């Protein structure tokens, strides 16, 4: 809530970039240290998931994690970077109030 309440936080792209990187690191740490160990242990439990033994040896939870992360990264880069490119092409400035 600090960036919402303090005007200097809202106006500084450097501070907002650091805050954004910190929050992304927190989400990534939660995913890797808390959620993934639970998911892999339940995936390895033969009673929890009904899959064949050959498929159980494949690290599917990690593949889903990397695939999901890559999908979000590609969507973020394609949507937001292409918006910046298109914005430069037609000369419109959306930042003006």
53-96 per-position pLDDT tens digit: 777 777 888 888 889 888 988 888 887 776 666 665 555 555 55
Measured between alpha carbons, how far is 47 from 2 in angstroms, rounded to an integer?
46
Measured between alpha carbons, how far is 85 from 88 in angstroms, rounded to an integer?
5
pLDDT 10s digits, 24-52: 899 889 888 888 888 888 777 767 667 77
Cβ neighbors of 23 (< 8 A, separation 6 or more) are: none
CA distances from 87 to 13, 15, 50 (A): 19, 24, 50
Question: What is the pTM assigned to this prediction?
Answer: 0.55
């Amino acid at each position: 809530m600090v960036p919402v309440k303090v005007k200097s936080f809202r106006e500084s792209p450097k501070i907002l970039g650091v805050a954004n990187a910190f929050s992304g690191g927190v989400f990534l740490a939660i995913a890797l240290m808390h959620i993934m160990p639970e998911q892999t242990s339940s995936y390895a439990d033969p009673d929890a998931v009904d899959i064949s033994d050959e498929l159980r040896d494949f690290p599917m939870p990690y593949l889903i994690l990397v695939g999901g992360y890559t999908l979000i990264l590609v969507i973020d880069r394609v949507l937001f970077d292409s918006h910046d490119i298109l914005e430069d092409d037609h000369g419109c400035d959306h930042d003006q109030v």
